[in-house]
Amino acid sequence: MSRQEALKLAEEAGVDLVEISPSANPPVAKITDWGKYQYQKMKEQQKNRKSSKAGELKQMRFGLKIGGGDLDIKLRKIRSFLEAGHKVRIQIFYRGREMAHKELGYEMIDKIIAKLEDDAVVEQKPQMAGRNLSVVVRSK
């Protein structure tokens, strides 16, 4: 159908001629209400945004001097994040003179990863960024 015929049909129906795929050969157009079309596209984008948030990156911070009970609580929370499908950044932060003993942070990261080995896989190796040592894990 020619462009003029399509425009005439759309005008008679009291709606708009909307070009759906301009790069196709010949271009694809649709006779529809423009406002309704925009509304439907917006709702579809919102739905896609909602469903894509499941893979969010969560973060859990640890100090070097954390106690055993506190460590277990944080590991339990990390496991719940992993079960929900999130990735988790585990971050060890150094205070003051703790920076002189960076190896303690690496040992703690290894200990945490060992405790999470049944539930998680290391996605990003441990790396230092300023006063923080971080590693990213995801569920198996």
Return the residue matching tokens 């060890």: 92
Mean per-residue pLDDT of the chain: 88
Q: Which CATH class, in words, describes the domain spanning 56-139? A: alpha beta
From the CB of residue 58, how many other CB atoms can be counted at a distance below 10 Å? 15
Measured CA to CA, the distance from residue 73 to residue 78 in angstroms comes to 9
CATH 3.40.470.10 is the classification of domain 3-52: no
Mind listing the pLDDT tens digit for each residue in 48-105?
877 766 568 899 999 999 999 999 999 999 999 989 888 999 999 999 998 898 899 9
Beta bridge partners of 31: 17
Measured CA to CA, the distance from residue 34 to residue 90 in angstroms comes to 48
Instruction: Tell me the pTM.
Output: 0.60
Q: Where are the domains of the chain?
A: 3-52, 56-139
Residue 71 confidence (pLDDT): 93
Residue 54 confidence (pLDDT): 57
